[in-house]
Structures are given as C-alpha cells and as structure tokens.
Amino acid sequence: MRITLTALHPEMPDGPWVGFSCAVGNGRGQWSGPLPPLASEHEVELALEDGFQWDHNLHASPSSAPRMDWSADGLRINAQLLQVDSDGGAALSIGGSIVLLSLQGASQDGPQWVELQARRVALYPVVL
C-alpha cells in the first residue's frame, strides 16, 4: 500500500506511531523501524493485528467502495473480503492491496464487501 506520512508520534509507550493518507483515505498505525520524515511517501505492508469476529468488529457492508478512516475507536476500513480459510485465515483487498487477518465466525461464500474496526494496526515499510 502506498502511503504519505501526515503525522509522527515518536514518544508512544508501545513504539512510534504515524498518521498517514493513502488512495482510499487516512489512518494511523504503529511504525516498524526508524521514523522517516514527515510528508515522505512509502510502500508499506498494512497489518491488522486484532482478532476479528463476524458481527463483532467485522460485518457485511452495503458499500462496495474501498474506504479507510481513523477515529478514536480505531481504524475503520471498508474492503472486499476475498476468502476465509477453515482455520480462520482471511484475505482482504483494500484498494488493490492485500491484507491478511484472523477471522472467526465468517461465512465462506466467496468475495463480499465488509466493514471492520481495527485497534491494533502496524505499518511495515517495504523496499521495492
């Protein structure tokens, strides 16, 4: 996922956090590695480290448009759930980027649009 850093929070208790914007909205997450300069662009792997449960912090969405925004409740994402394995491993497509997550209690009926709320978000810079 291609992002632009919009805020730097180096003094967080669990490590540095950043605010970012991307093609589908904006968000916030824990940065892995040394903090780069504000307004710099990066290719990152977005990791949603919450345990997701159908109808708890992830549910069907009436919208078929990818979207991401940050609030006090965490990162809200509207994306396409591509597949869920029998062990709960799931693949999500957010504006062309694939994100893997753990999901319990989901139907396995092919691709569908979902909305989720994530509190544990990590960003891992990718060197291309």
Q: What is the pLDDT of residue 108?
A: 62
Name the band, by pLDDT with cuts 50, 70 and 90, for residue 107. Answer: low
Assessment of whether the complete model's pTM goes beyond 0.75: yes
Q: Is the pLDDT of residue 61 over 70?
A: yes
Whole-angstrom distance, CA of residue 52 vs CA of residue 54:
7
Number of domains in the chain: 1
Segment holding 97, helix H or strand E:
strand 97-104
The answer on pLDDT for 110 being more than 90 is no
Q: Distance (Å, rounded) from C-alpha 73 to C-alpha 80?
A: 21
Across the chain, mean pLDDT equals 94
The whole-angstrom distance between residue 20's C-alpha and the CA centroid of its chain comes to 12
Span 96-111, mean pLDDT? Answer: 86
Range of the domain at 49: 2-125
| Percent of the chain with pLDDT strictly greater than 90 | 89
